[in-house]
Amino acid sequence: MSETSRMGSGRVFPALPAHLDPTEPFAASWWGNAWIDALEESALDQARLARGRTYAREGAVDTITVAPGRIVAYVHGSRPRPYRAEIRLRTMLPEHWDRFLDAVAADPAHIAALLDKDMPHALAAAADRADVQLLPGARELSPSCTCPDRGHPCKHAAALAYQTARLLDADPFVLLLLRGGEEQDLLDELSRRNAHKSAAEQRATPPPPTTSAEPELPGTPARDALTSEYRPALPPPMAPPAHPGEPPVLPSLPGAPDATSLEFLITDAAARAHAFLTTGADPFTATSPWHDAVRLAASHPGLTGRRTFSRQFAELARSVGRTPADLSRAAAAWRQGGEEGLAVLESPWDPPAGPFDRARGALAAADLPRMTIHRNALTTADGSLQLRFGHDNRWYPYRSEPGADDWWPEGEADMDVVGAVAGVLGG
C-alpha cells in the first residue's frame, strides 16, 4: 500500500452509554486489556486514573473521533464547558505495513479473523515475528487535554482512553486505524495480495487431466431467475429530531482546514437545517453582520465565558469590529431571548405604564430586595442584580460585581418579574 492510501480520514463513533457497574471491566478482549495496561503502566498518578474511570463509567466522554495517530473527544468534567482530550500513538512506516500485510495474507485464518472483528494471539504473534508492533507499549500513548491539569494523563484523557478500550473490543480495525491503516484500504490490499498468492500457486500446480468429454448443460443463474421488477413503496420520512445534532470532533491533520472552525460552521448549518425541517423556513435572518456574528457566537461549541476565548471566537469578534468581551456579552443576551434579548442589552427604552410599574410592588410582596428605576431597568441598591424589561413584556435578569457596573445577562427571561429574580437567586 502507498502511504497516501493508508492515511484514512478517520472514523466517528457516537458517545458510548454509561458503564456504571464498577465490577464490570472496560475491556473484554485481550487486545482491549493490553491497551488499558499500556495506559495504566505509563500513568504517573493513580488517583487521576481512578477519576478518569469514574468519568468514563458515567458517560462523560462525548463523540469520539479516531484518525491515524490520534483519538479526539470532548470530555465533560465539573465545569459547564467540556474539555478537548486527545491521545496520540505513533503510526507505522510503509515498510512495517508491507511486512504486516504479508504476514496476514500468508494465513487465510488471519484474514477471516479480521473480517470477524477478532484479533487472535496468533495474528499478533505473526506481527511480532515480522518485527511489527501493533499494540502500544508502556509510555507509547501520549495524552493531552485543554484542561489546566498537567497530569500524565489528566482525568479527562484517562476517561477517553478507557472508553477507547471499549471501541477496540468491538472492532480491532480501530487499532489498525490508529497505527495508520484505514479498514477498506487494508482489506483491498489483503484481497490483492491474496489473489496474487492464489494465482502464483495455480501457476505452480499443473492442471488435472481431462477425464470427461461431457458437454456443459445450459442453465440460468439463480440471481437472474429470482429477479423481480416489484419495488415496495418508500417508507414515510422520519420525523425531525427534537434538537439539532452535535458536530463530531474533527481531527487536526496537516494541510486540512482548521478543525475548530469547521465545527463552528457545522454547528450553524445543523441549527439552520433543524429550523427549516421543523418550521419550513429559515428563521435566522440577521439584519446586520453584527447580529449574524452574535447569533453564530451564541451557538459556538467552544464559547468559554466572560474572560477566556478561543482563537476562532476572538477572530469572529474582530471581523465585526468588536472585542471578544463585547461579543461574549451579546451572545449571552442572544441565548436569553434571541434578537429581543440583544435589543434589551443594547437599547434602553421607556416602557409605558402597566406591567413595568407594577413590578416593584410584586417584588416587595415577595419580600425581595427593593430596586431603583432607570428607564426600562430595575437595579438593587448594592448594584449586583438588575432586571431589564423587554418589548416582549419579559424580564431579563443581569448580574454584576457590586458597584462595578459591568452587567452580564444571567439566567432565563421570564414574564413574571418574581420568577426572573428567583431563577437567578435560586429560590
Instruction: Give, as one character, the DSSP assignment of residue 346.
Output: H
Task: Indicate if the pLDDT at residue 369 is higher than 70.
Answer: yes
pLDDT band for 330, please (50, 70, 90 cuts).
very high
Using an 8 Å Cβ cutoff, are 381 and 369 in contact? Answer: yes
Among 388, 263, 287, 379, smallest CA distance to 337 is for: 388
Q: Residue 4: its pLDDT value, please?
A: 33
Task: Indicate if the pLDDT at residue 133 is higher than 70.
Answer: yes
Model pLDDT for residues 292-302, shown as the tens digit of each residue: 888 888 876 55
Q: pLDDT above 70 covers what percent of the chain? A: 89
Q: Residue 74: its pLDDT value, please?
A: 95
Task: Kindly give the residue spans of alpha helices, DSSP state H, lying in 13-172.
Answer: 30-42, 46-57, 94-105, 108-115, 121-129, 155-170
Q: Residue 21: its pLDDT value, please?
A: 81
pLDDT band for 275, please (50, 70, 90 cuts).
confident
Instruction: Give, as one character, the DSSP assignment of residue 210.
Output: P
Using an 8 Å Cβ cutoff, are 177 and 64 in contact? Answer: no
Strand partners, 86: 72, 144
Q: Residue 150: its pLDDT value, please?
A: 86
Q: Residue 229: its pLDDT value, please?
A: 63
Task: Indicate if the pLDDT at residue 247 is higher than 50.
Answer: yes
SS3 377: strand
What are the grid coordinates assigned to 131, written together?
A: 518485527
Task: Indicate if the pLDDT at residue 65 is higher than 70.
Answer: yes
Instruction: Specify the higher pLDDT residue, 400 or 304.
Output: 400
Pairing, β 11-13 against β 61-67: antiparallel
d(CA 52, CA 156): 6
Starting at the edge strand that comes first in sequence, how are the strands of the sheet with 395-399 ordered?
371-374, 377-380, 385-389, 395-399, 408-409
Instruction: Specify the higher pLDDT residue, 244 or 165.
Output: 165
Angle at 208 between CA 203 and CA 213, to 5 degrees: 130
> Which of the residue ranges 59-68, 195-204, 241-250 has the most confident prediction, judged by mean pLDDT?
59-68
Among 357, 354, 363, smallest CA distance to 397 is for: 363
**Average pLDDT, whole number, for the chain?**
84
Q: What is the DSSP string of 256-312?
A: SPPHHHHHHHHHHHHHHHHHHHHHSS-----SSHHHHHHHHHHT-TT---SS---HH
Q: Residue 167: its pLDDT value, please?
A: 93
Q: pLDDT above 90 covers what percent of the chain? A: 30
Q: Residue 8: its pLDDT value, please?
A: 46
Q: Residue 367: its pLDDT value, please?
A: 85
Task: Indicate if the pLDDT at residue 94 is higher than 70.
Answer: yes
Grid look-up 413574571 returns 416
Radius of gyration of the chain (CA): 30
Among 271, 331, 270, smallest CA distance to 304 is for: 331
Using an 8 Å Cβ cutoff, are 119 and 186 in contact? Answer: no
Task: Indicate if the pLDDT at residue 362 is higher than 60.
Answer: yes
Instruction: Specify the higher pLDDT residue, 86 or 293.
Output: 86
Task: Indicate if the pLDDT at residue 426 is higher than 70.
Answer: yes
Residue 282 CA, chain-centre distance (Å), reads 25
Instruction: Specify the higher pLDDT residue, 27 or 395.
Output: 395
Mean local confidence (pLDDT), 89-106: 89
Angle at 392 between CA 390 and CA 393, to 5 degrees: 70
Check the CA dihedral 277-279-282-284 and report its sign.
negative
pLDDT band for 209, please (50, 70, 90 cuts).
low
Among 348, 356, 366, 341, smallest CA distance to 425 is for: 366
CB within 8 A of 327, min separation 6: which ones? Answer: 293, 294, 297, 313, 316, 317, 320
Q: Residue 45: its pLDDT value, please?
A: 83
16: left (phi over 0), alpha (psi -120 to 50) or beta: beta
Mean local confidence (pLDDT), 232-257: 81
Q: Residue 215: its pLDDT value, please?
A: 64
Task: Indicate if the pLDDT at residue 84 is higher than 90.
Answer: yes
d(CA 299, CA 284): 12
d(CA 246, CA 62): 10
Residue 394's CB: how many other CB atoms inside 10 A? Answer: 21
Q: Residue 378: its pLDDT value, please?
A: 93
